[in-house]
Structure 1
Amino acid sequence: MSADDAARGSSRNRRPRYLPLQILLGFLVVYFLIPFWWLIINSSKSSVGLFGGGNALWFSDDINYVENIRQLFTYGGGIYGRWLLNSALYAFVGGVGATVLAVLAGYGFAKYRFAGRRLAFAILLGAVMVPTTALVIPTFVLFAKIGLTNTIWAVILPTLLNPFGVYLMHVYARDAVPDELLDAARVDGAGELRTFLRIALPLMRPAIVTVLLLSVVASWNNYFLPLAMLSDNRLFPVTVGIGLWQSTASTYGAAGGQSLWSIIILGSLVSVVPLIIAFLTLQRYWQGGLSIGSLK
């Protein structure tokens, strides 16, 4: 039997074994894409098409994207655009800051020995297990005493602390950055900062991009913290702003809520677009970092 025949036979033998898994994965893909498809479809409808009893998973005769977008960015004096900018600010500053702190702390835990290291790392592991929502009220009390509530810092500063990001960077740096490379750089006369920037940082790129994505997404989707910290709607992120519109639409009902539901759905769709762009933009750096790590 030739090598090609053997390869084809092996491929046929593998197909039945992986078929249930492929069916399951296909089902999960459809399951998770249906809500996004629902947003795309219903954000094109007017209030009449939205509540007219038509097919919720297909376009109506009246596709109304342009008018809905105009209403979205003009309703309430164009407050939605401000909410988007607020979310971008919170996600960028909080995500980048949390990533920088996680990289430094994770590398320090992985590659340095210092007094109290085990105790500090145990506290870090305990912090990973605490839900962030459980810390909102104590954080609010603390920030109220120092006068930082209803400011952008009330949202940015708590998001800078990412215990899971520190743990992830510690695990990755411990295995991906060989101690021999660091010792060789020190023998050649490189200082600790130069060794970190020139040797360790490129090897840690995949984990850095992962922590950055997780931090940005967490900051962008943050709801409970800004809801508790902020009272000025001009400082709201888009998540809290859409929640405010939703409560308004539910309160007014048919009297004035139907037209508002159309822009709420479109606003939810628009709020997802920056996250998709972030993933697509950072994906090549993610893949490039994986290649660099494998070569090293």
Structure 2
Amino acid sequence: MSTLQIGSRPRAASTSPTRRSTPRRSDSSRWLILGVMTISVVYFLAPVWWLLVSSTKSDSGLFSGNGFWFNGFHLWSNIRSVFAQDNGIYARWLLNTLVYAGLGAALSTLFASLAGYALAKFPFRGSGALFNIVLAAVLVPQPLLAIPLYLLFSPVHLVNTYWAVLIPSMVSPFGVYLARIYAAASVPDEVLEAARLDGSGEVRTFFQISLRVMSPALVTIFLFQFVSIWSNYLLPALMLANESLQPVTVGIVGWQQQHGSGNAVPTNVVITAAALCVVPLVILFLSLQRFWRSGMTSGSVK
């Protein structure tokens, strides 16, 4: 039996707080990251700022003073000149672009959602190989397809028509990929099975249930395709010879190519036209942003 020695004191528990070794980022690395981020922001925003500032200048003011600061304010007169140039052809170009981008992106989103949903929820023999082909198509640069499409459309007399731009715009391999991934992760099989037991057909289930669940992905597909069609230049430039069928990108480049000729379009008009064609993209992005937010937070609270 152990005995307590006389005069011995029990050892007190150590009350000194233990030090934690917390990693601290050095000041030099912080300044390096901040410097890289600042350079990136300036690199991407400087052209946008120059475009906005230049659209407010007169034709002579573009070549005098600081290019990144205001030199008079002629924005409203420049806008009037844009829509009055060549008998108002710019408004026709904008309308054509809205048709190509809006209708093409809507149909592309619908077809991509159908294909992606089928690949995710209806497995069949060869579906994996077919999905790999879709992935390979994502890696193909779109400008490489312009000349083959021209050779395909020319014998059937689709060149120099609206269909020459609309038909290629209806296909989006990236949209099929994204729809397939999102449908597999977000559309529960139990919900589909319950809908089948209630007598709902596959088409009705897709449009009334699956499309609503996939709405964040569909908005993303629509926006990506809309921006891609809106900014596309090579395909419409190759397909459309009629000026009244051209989109705004081809029309602005045509104005710029007249520089130095007798009927040259003023430079400030060309720059203002380029700035105006960005406005619909900004409006579309801001108006669809709430769908992304709702999609990101829809499963956070049960």
The interval holding the TM-score normalised by the smaller chain is 0.7 to 0.9
Change (3 A) 1:55 1:12: farther
TM-score scaled by length of structure 2: 0.86
Larger relative helix fraction: 1
Deviations along 1:112-146, one digit per CA (max 9) or x if unpaired, are: 02243233222222211211111111100111110
- Match among 288, 291, 296 for residue 297 of structure 2: 291
Shift of 1:228: 0.3
Change (3 A) 1:26 1:198: farther
Instruction: Give the counterpart letter for 2:73 in structure 1.
Output: I
Shift of 1:181: 2.3
Q: Tell me the distance in 2 between the aligned counterparts of 1:18 and 1:187.
A: 58
- Match among 41, 44, 55 for residue 32 of structure 1: 44
| Residue aligning to 1:57 | 68
- Match among 209, 217, 221 for residue 207 of structure 1: 217
What is the percent sequence identity of the aligned residues?
46
SS in 2 for 1:201: helix
Aligned CA RMSD, in angstroms, stands at 2.4
Give the paired residue count: 282
- Match among 262, 268, 283 for residue 262 of structure 1: 268
Q: Tell me the distance in 2 between the aligned counterparts of 1:181 and 1:24.
A: 47
Q: Tell me the distance in 2 between the aligned counterparts of 1:13 and 1:267.
A: 50
Deviations along 1:173-196, one digit per CA (max 9) or x if unpaired, are: 111222222223323333212322
Confirm whether residue 136 of structure 1 aligns to residue 146 of structure 2. Answer: yes
Instruction: Give the counterpart letter for 1:142 in structure 2.
Output: L
Shift of 1:48: 1.1
Change (3 A) 1:272 1:15: farther
Instruction: Give the counterpart letter for 2:206 in structure 1.
Output: F
| Residue aligning to 2:197 | 187
| Residue aligning to 1:86 | 96
- Aligned partners of 1:204 and 1:293 also within 8 Å: no
SS in 2 for 1:76: helix
Q: Tell me the distance in 2 between the aligned counterparts of 1:157 and 1:83.
A: 19
Deviations along 1:221-263, one digit per CA (max 9) or x if unpaired, are: 01000000000011110000001011111x43xx665x62111
Which segments of 5 or more consecutive residues in structure 2 lack a partner in the other structure? 1-19
Instruction: Give the counterpart letter for 2:120 in structure 1.
Output: A
Shift of 1:84: 0.7
SS in 2 for 1:173: helix
Instruction: For 1:76-155, list aligned pairs within 5 A.
Output: 76-155=86-165
- Aligned partners of 1:44 and 1:59 also within 8 Å: yes
Confirm whether residue 45 of structure 1 aligns to residue 57 of structure 2. Answer: yes
Larger Rg: 2
Q: Tell me the distance in 1 between the aligned counterparts of 2:211 and 2:293.
A: 15
TM-score scaled by length of structure 1: 0.88
Q: Tell me the distance in 1 between the aligned counterparts of 2:117 and 2:196.
A: 16
Q: Tell me the distance in 2 between the aligned counterparts of 1:287 and 1:73.
A: 37
| Residue aligning to 1:6 | none
Which segments of 5 or more consecutive residues in structure 1 lack a partner in the other structure? 1-8
- Aligned partners of 1:72 and 1:267 also within 8 Å: yes
Change (3 A) 1:13 1:128: same
Shift of 1:14: 7.5
Q: Tell me the distance in 1 between the aligned counterparts of 2:31 and 2:196.
A: 52
- Aligned partners of 1:205 and 1:290 also within 8 Å: no
